[in-house]
Amino acid sequence: MRTETPPTIHLADYRPSDHLIDRVDLDIRLDPHASRVTALLALRPNPQGKVGAPLVLDGDELKLVSLAMDGEVLLENAYTASPSGLTIHRPPQRPFTLAIETEIDPTANTKLMGLYRSSGVYCTQCEADGFRRITYFLDRPDILSIYTTRIEASREEAPVLLGNGNPVGSGDVPGTDRHYAIWQDPHPKPAYLFAIVGGRLGSVTGRFTTSEGREVALGVYVEPGKEARADYALDAVIRSMKWDEEGFGRAYDLDVFNVVAVSDFNMGAMENKGLNIFNDKYVLASPETATDADYANIEAIIAHEYFHNWSGNRVTCRDWFQLCLKEGLTVFRDQEFSSDMRSRAVHRISEVRTLRARQFPEDAGPLAHPVRPKQYAEINNFYTATVYEKGAEIVRMLKTLIGEDAFRKGMDRYFADNDGTAATVEDFLAAFATETGRDLSHFAQWYERPGTPRIAVTGTYDAAAKTYRLDFRQTRPGAGADAPPLVIPVALGLVGEDGPLAARSERVQDGVFVLDKAEDSVTFESVASRPVPSLFRDFSAPVRVEINQSDAERLTLLRHDTDAFNRWESAQRVALRIIIAAARGGSETLDGAEGFADALAAFLDQEAVNDPAFAALMLALPSEGEVASEIGANIDPDAIFAARRRLREAIALRLRDPLIVLRERLAEPAGAPFSPDAASAGRRAFRNAALDLIAVADPDRGTVLAREQIAASGTMTDRLAGLATLSQIPGDAREAELAAFAERYAGEPLILDKWLAIQAAIPEDGTIARIRQLQQHPAFSITNPNRVRSLVGVFSLSNPTQFNRADGAGYALVAETVLALDKRNPQVAARLLTAFGSWRQMEPRRRAAAEETLRGIVAVGGLSRDVADIAGR
Ligand code: 0A1
Ligand code: ZN
């Protein structure tokens, strides 16, 4: 039984390092089992550190081969070395060098941190603390150094050798079958941005001339033979470079920019300086193999990693508590990019759905933490929806509060003032405070406290005075009475029976009221008739709104609001109300379903053809997870599932005929070339949402249509949508199509991931047995993170009735996988375990089953710090 709890690191304990490393010269000789790394470090005491302090370098599973200071071999009593660290007891009080030689086995590295091999390709992952698995180092983000890297490998095994920065030399190693390449990065960087790649790779290349006149050579490297699937990623790189120049004035700063796709990767991708390394699912795409969602994800993640070149790399983080400084800001930037490339309203809705599906539950459970955490046991467990997604919402609110021009000026100042340094959230806010002359210390509270704020709103109309008053009250679950209120931008307007109302209030500027007290109110003058308020337009703050609004009022917003987000939101609210009432009541009736379905029919009639992407979102009911998160306590996933299904049936029966017509009308003309653009993708999204509902109304017809679509369609989006629709209809047709799909794509792991995911999400009792069988299928492998996430991850996150089975079998399945994986790859195991984050909100029987499972995990000996941390919390 494990006894020790992992040590906790506190933000309040931050101290500058006692030593600095100005230059790092690396010589890396790649070998499958015994790679040799010589690191020549140019060190000096930090004027801000403690005089005479020992030099304590981090290490992780390292083997020291040799050690020399200023060219002399160090005496053994001058240092202590272990796999997890190297201490020089009395380092010189002047600049000096250390030459450290280590040996590592990249093939045995199953954690995929540090130097490892993915399908034979050598690659590295150093964020957050992987560099210490390559050499002993001050592995913290406030140590910025200039790196030169020589990489040597067998020419046969690794004809391509890539590093950070610019290539400055290459050649053969005389008398051997080996060759080398030298890369020099002129920009100081923390160790977490270091990377190399060596392997047999194909590539597509391009060029970009920056606004500053720099000629940049671009390369996207992939498994040989898959080059044609790299074109879209290359195009996204070029669009990202241009957009960052136009939108943020940020030009690229090296002569080369490379992207490499690898098939074994713990996360989405990594922004290493000049050498972004990607999970291949976010690079590879072709019309035959990729869905519209794949194209959108590739575009967004290429942009995200590229944008880090300024928000993260040129200006980096002082410590890992500041992670949101680069991540929240960069997510905001990639969201803006995608909104400019696609439909802004549709994109905003998908951002909010992600936030509600992932961040709101996180913020309401035991894994809740502030956007800037105050403590951690394992930093790799803090790459969370809160840091990324809520972090992005804070930047968005800042922009809403100060306005577009001031925001851009503040960003320019932030980059100028902090370029080449490791910054803090305070530095970020200071740039905007200086630029606008505003005090942002109150706004800074958003970074400090966990929990989703609740805003209670009441509206009062005075018919005689023609005024309308809105009273706001903010509370934060779990926050003490002394917690200061937050600064909350409320974008709002009024809507009447026949359309938007022009209404004035001195508290509202540019459509925004700023709520910065616990309670406050706004009064509108000259309001001719009782209005319906449209609140938090475009989701202007990450809060939950509590307002007593009737279905009829909400449907008025659906019809007439000028804000697309709130049109969608009001329909979602009506659906949520109906589902929750039905889940609670357990009744057979669905009060209000008819009126809702009629409103949707009228909406489709007017808008489906003009904006099919938006119409597709209108047809998607809130997920079971969103309903659960809205209910908040004593959750019975079966009751939610049944209620939601009944509403879907009611809507499907009402809309079936118009959907059949619209589905045909929006079909691509036969022989039209494939395009992944937003307009074509929107038409496909609508047609597939329609197919799904038609199948709910009439499973036989749905089966025929889905099979036709699988057979005839030229796009992966449509084939998979057909399969997904069929997956909800038990029977031989489903099993036959699933089997045929697996056979057709036997050599395509990324496509079979989707096949695994579809089956993992089937809301039926047989799914656990199916998953256990699939774990034995050649398409599955516990060693590959994408496979694990597609099967077990999707099961835990997207199959609420089966994961939360009352008999605990779903919890047991996930726990088994977590434990099996923990020995190989603790990071991925810990992420899988976060699916238990909402266990306390379950009804008593499931809560007990989940608790028992979690206690069982905690009781296992030798858990990784990653898994112990999550299970413990
Ligand atoms: N900075 C990356 C995320 C990332 C974090 C840790 C990793 O280690 C396995 C990998 C990637 C991003 O925001 O894209
Ligand atoms: Zn990032």
What the block records as the tokens of 210 is 């920056």
Q: What is the pLDDT of residue 596?
A: 98
DSSP string over 545-588: EEE---HHHHHHHHHH-S-HHHHHHHHHHHHHHHHHHHHHH--S
- Ligand 1: atom nearest CA of 383 is 5
Closest Cα to atom 13 of ligand 1: 327
pLDDT digits (tens, 9 = 90+) for 703-716: 999 999 999 998 99
Q: What is the pLDDT of residue 5?
A: 63
Q: Give 468's DSSP letter.
A: E
Closest Cα to atom 1 of ligand 1: 270
pLDDT digits (tens, 9 = 90+) for 444-474: 999 999 999 999 999 999 999 999 999 999 9
Per-residue pLDDT band for 2 (boundaries 50, 70, 90) equals very low
Closest listed ligand to the CA of 327: 2
Mutate to test the pocket of ligand 1, among 270, 331, 332 (most ligand atoms within 8 A of CB): 270
CA of 261 to the centre of ligand 1 (A): 14
Element (H, E) at 534: strand 532-534
Contact 496, 532 (CB under 8 A): yes
Q: What is the pLDDT of residue 589?
A: 79
**From the CB of residue 166, how many other CB atoms can be counted at a distance below 10 Å?**
15
Cis amide leading into 128 (omega within 30): yes
Residue 668's φ and ψ, nearest 5 degrees, are -65, 140
Q: What is the pLDDT of residue 414?
A: 99
Distance CA 812, CA 828 (A): 17
Q: What is the pLDDT of residue 348?
A: 98
Q: Residues near 126 by Cβ (< 8 Å), separated by ≥ 6? A: 113, 114, 134, 191, 192, 193, 194, 195, 272
Q: What is the pLDDT of residue 326?
A: 99
What the block records as the tokens of 803 is 């994961």
CA of 272 to the centre of ligand 1 (A): 10
In the Cβ-directed half-sphere of 598, how many Cα atoms lie within 13 Å? 8
The residue whose two tokens read 């120049």 is 245
CA of 25 to the centre of ligand 2 (A): 27
The amino acid sitting at 455 is: I
CA of 267 to the centre of ligand 1 (A): 6
pLDDT digits (tens, 9 = 90+) for 843-852: 999 999 999 9
Residue 124's φ and ψ, nearest 5 degrees, are -130, 155
Element (H, E) at 644: helix 637-665
Q: What is the pLDDT of residue 219?
A: 99
Distance CA 59, CA 474 (A): 47
Q: What is the pLDDT of residue 6?
A: 67
Residue 19's φ and ψ, nearest 5 degrees, are -135, 155
The amino acid sitting at 642 is: A
Q: What is the pLDDT of residue 197?
A: 99
Distance CA 117, CA 263 (A): 10
pLDDT digits (tens, 9 = 90+) for 244-265: 999 999 999 999 999 999 999 9
Average pLDDT over residues 803-820: 98
The residue whose two tokens read 């009506």 is 574
Average pLDDT over residues 747-771: 98
Asked if pLDDT for residue 387 goes beyond 60, the answer is: yes
The strand pair at 269-270 and 275-279 is best described as antiparallel
Closest Cα to atom 11 of ligand 1: 270
Distance CA 265, CA 284 (A): 14
Helices (H), 80-120: none
- Ligand 1: atom nearest CA of 301 is 14
Radius of gyration, CA atoms only, the chain? 28
Pocket of ligand 1 (CB under 6 A): 125, 127, 266-271, 304-305, 327, 383
Distance CA 708, CA 687 (A): 14
Distance CA 13, CA 370 (A): 17
CA angle 626, 452, 425 (to 5 degrees): 125
Asked if pLDDT for residue 588 goes beyond 90, the answer is: no
- Ligand 1: atom nearest CA of 113 is 9
**Secondary structure in 3-state letters for 787-841:** HHHHHHHHHHHHCHHHHCCCCCHHHHHHHHHHHHHHCCCHHHHHHHHHHHHHHHH
**From the CB of residue 798, how many other CB atoms can be counted at a distance below 10 Å?**
17
pLDDT digits (tens, 9 = 90+) for 154-181: 999 999 999 999 999 999 999 999 999 9
Nearest alpha carbon to residue 526 among 548, 496, 552, 567: 496
- 245 in active site: no
Closest Cα to atom 9 of ligand 1: 266
- SS3 of 84, please? coil
Asked if pLDDT for residue 3 goes beyond 70, the answer is: no
Q: Residues near 175 by Cβ (< 8 Å), separated by ≥ 6? A: none
Average pLDDT over residues 408-415: 99
Mean pLDDT of the chain: 97
Q: Give 75's DSSP letter.
A: P
pLDDT digits (tens, 9 = 90+) for 122-155: 999 999 999 999 999 999 999 999 999 999 999 9
Contact 78, 90 (CB under 8 A): yes
Per-residue pLDDT band for 1 (boundaries 50, 70, 90) equals very low
> Could you tell me the strand order of the sheet in which 512-515 lies?
488-491, 512-515, 508-509
Contact 449, 390 (CB under 8 A): no
- Ligand 1: atom nearest CA of 380 is 6
Asked if pLDDT for residue 4 goes beyond 70, the answer is: no
Closest Cα to atom 8 of ligand 1: 127
CA of 845 to the centre of ligand 2 (A): 39
Contact 856, 815 (CB under 8 A): yes
Q: Is the pTM of this model over 0.95?
A: yes
Mutate to test the pocket of ligand 1, among 109, 127, 305 (most ligand atoms within 8 A of CB): 127
What the block records as the tokens of 643 is 């209620």
Closest listed ligand to the CA of 302: 1
- SS3 of 186, please? strand
The strand pair at 499-501 and 493-496 is best described as antiparallel
What the block records as the tokens of 836 is 């238990």
- Which of 127, 299, 305, 626 is the catalytic position? 305
pLDDT digits (tens, 9 = 90+) for 660-681: 999 999 999 888 899 999 999 9
Closest Cα to atom 6 of ligand 1: 127
- Ligand 1: atom nearest CA of 265 is 9
The amino acid sitting at 232 is: Y
**Secondary structure in 3-state letters for 260-301:** EEECCCCCCEECCCCEEEEEHHHCCCCCCCCCHHHHHHHHHH
CA of 306 to the centre of ligand 1 (A): 13
Average pLDDT over residues 494-522: 96
pLDDT digits (tens, 9 = 90+) for 601-659: 999 999 999 999 999 999 999 999 999 999 999 999 999 999 999 999 999 999 999 99
CA of 282 to the centre of ligand 1 (A): 13
Q: What percent of the chain has pLDDT over 70?
A: 99
ipTM, two decimals = 0.99
Burial class (CB in 10 A: 0-12, 13-18, 19+), 319: middle
